[in-house]
Chains A and B, each alone.
Chain A
Amino acid sequence: MSLLDLQRDMRAWLVDEDAVAANRLGGGDVAAGLRIHLNNFRAQLTACLEESFAHTRAWIGGDAFHHAVVTHVERVHPGSWTLDAYSRDFPATLKLLYPADPEIAELAWIEQALAEAFAGPDTEALTAAELHDVDWDNAVLRFTPTLDLTELTTNAPAIWSALAQGAEPPAVAMLSETGAILAWRDGEMPRFRAIDQIEHQALLRLRASLPFGGLCAGLVELLGEEAGVARAGAMLGQWLADALITSLGSGTRLDAPEQPLPPAHDA
């Protein structure tokens, strides 16, 4: 047997408990060793998910979490050299398993995003005091590479915070309209914040190099002159306070985003 064939058979054993592959590897002579490696393989993946999603586990309970782990191990095979990568698809597995309980996948997203931000690239954030003579119309905001965003439909952030503090978590509540959540690292501290769709879309477009003037124009169109400019200023101030902006570049001013911002509600 070639080394490649041997390694393919070992993979088949670990992933599928393939008895034919096990026989080719040596059958009874290697059975005890194969069982140890199968246990090692599963134990590594289980430990990875249990450590990565402790609050999600606390929320759904050990039995449900174990079922989710078994499903994930069957559904997703590890490919990266780092086990940290194995947890990335777990929120998607939870979404498949619990479509009627979206807070579960959203809790897991928060845990995963915070973990990724924890070891993400180091950057220095801009402060308000460093902003002089900025051509805001053409300014392109560069955000920390640890920033991640996703849509949010429940009060998962409040549930996560209560679990993290060892407090009684609130009951699940659906948001009146779909919002979003951002996660990033400020210094060495991973953080998250729930946001509305206007800020979500603003961040997506600015990250795609829309100049700040283009954002302002879109917000004025959406909210009116006074409210649009005020909202843009408020968001900019919050991003600076959150240490989200790392530098300013320059781009070509667009009078309005290619896609309209979402309809205003109580923004």
Chain B
Amino acid sequence: MIAPFSGFGLGLRKPHYAEFLETRVAVDFVEVISENFMVEGGRPRRILREVRERYPVALHGVSMSLGSADGLDGAYLARLRALVDEVDPLFVSDHLSWSRIEGFNSHDLLPLPYTNAALDLVCANLDRAQDVLGRAMLIENPSTYIDFAPADMTEWEFLDRLCARTGCGLLLDVNNVFVSASNHGFDPLAYLDGIPHARVRQIHLAGHSQGSELLIDTHDQPVPAPVWELYAHVLPRLGSVATMIERDDAIPPLHELLAELGTARHIAAGCVRAAA
């Protein structure tokens, strides 16, 4: 089992490097995109070392491609293992998705059909990844724009079985639940009630945009009200979790993200008071 961590954090992004290194930012942890630091040396690795000296760090990947039908990239896993050994992160996470097939890499988080065959494949790939990394991972639910039919199970049932079979934990992206629910017409509360709550170790909160036909997970907006409402719904059902704001585009000044994180703290405090 992955040790729980309770706190509030932010994704570390370039415009905020100096503030994180030169001041004590009021966060309990930071999350970095693993691939940005899976380089051989230079300034990126030095910055990560210095950030790690000041804050607990979670590694969040976007390129493992856990759903690839032709298996995982061994060179990628070896590089990630080296980074894990150097950083000693709180968590190592990636997505329930695929990006690469037969030497082609889309650099996008592509959807999987939620079939028994896909579950077997993802379990085998995740078993291998966790063996190489020497630790259990957190798997994040994706935003999806395609609902492949026929399916053998819902996404939350898929995640439940994945956790049970591989021992992984969950990184619950509440915005992704909202986006996918809106795009495919399922009830987000059913999703949040259906996931294995004891497996959730981390939460992502983010914003999205309205595309011409579907909602798109753009991470370029503040967390919207419906996502906060879902966060408030699920939080009392979980144990200790690490909550963070994720912003990857139109990145605002750090104080604005800290204000959003304050909203998360306020909701969490309200949950504690309600439970008392």
List chain A positions with a Cβ less than 8 A from chain B: 2-4, 6-8, 10-11, 14-15, 25-26, 29-30, 32-37, 40-41, 44-45, 77-84, 86, 117-122, 185, 188
Contacts and interface: CB of A to CB of B under 8 A. Distances in A.
B29 interface: no
A65 B75 CA distance: 33
Given A2-B117, A3-B121, A4-B70, A119 B44 contact: yes
B220 interface: no
Given A2-B117, A37-B106, 19 more contacts: A3-B112, A6-B69, A7-B69, A11-B104, A25-B148, A26-B146, A32-B214, A33-B183, A35-B213, A36-B214, A37-B108, A41-B108, A80-B105, A81-B75, A81-B100, A82-B35, A119-B43, A122-B41, A188-B43
Interface in B67-115: 67-70, 73, 75-76, 98, 100-108, 110-113, 115
B273 to A, nearest CB: 41
A185 B101 contact: no
B41 A119 contact: yes
9 contacts: A3-B113, A11-B102, A25-B146, A32-B145, A36-B145, A37-B145, A82-B63, A120-B41, A120-B42
A41 B108 CA distance: 6
A82 to B, nearest CB: 6
Q: Give the top 4 A-B pairs by smallest Cβ distance, nearest first.
A: A33-B145, A33-B146, A122-B41, A119-B39
Interface of B: 35, 38-46, 63, 65, 67-70, 73, 75-76, 98, 100-108, 110-113, 115, 117-118, 121, 144-149, 183, 211, 213-214, 216
A122 B110 contact: no
B71 to A, nearest CB: 11
B106 A3 contact: no
Overall SS of chain B's interface: loop
A6 B148 contact: yes
Contacts of A80: 105
Contacts of B39: 84, 119-120
A3 B107 contact: no
Overall SS of chain A's interface: helix
Contacts of B112: 3
Contacts of B214: 32-33, 36
B211 A36 contact: yes
Contacts of A185: 42
Given A3-B118, A122-B45, A78 B106 contact: yes
Contacts of B76: 81
A45 B107 CA distance: 8
Contacts of A120: 39-42
A78 B211 contact: no
Contacts of A81: 35, 63, 65, 73, 75-76, 100, 105
B38 A82 contact: yes
Contacts of B75: 81
Nearest to A83: B107
A85 B76 CA distance: 13
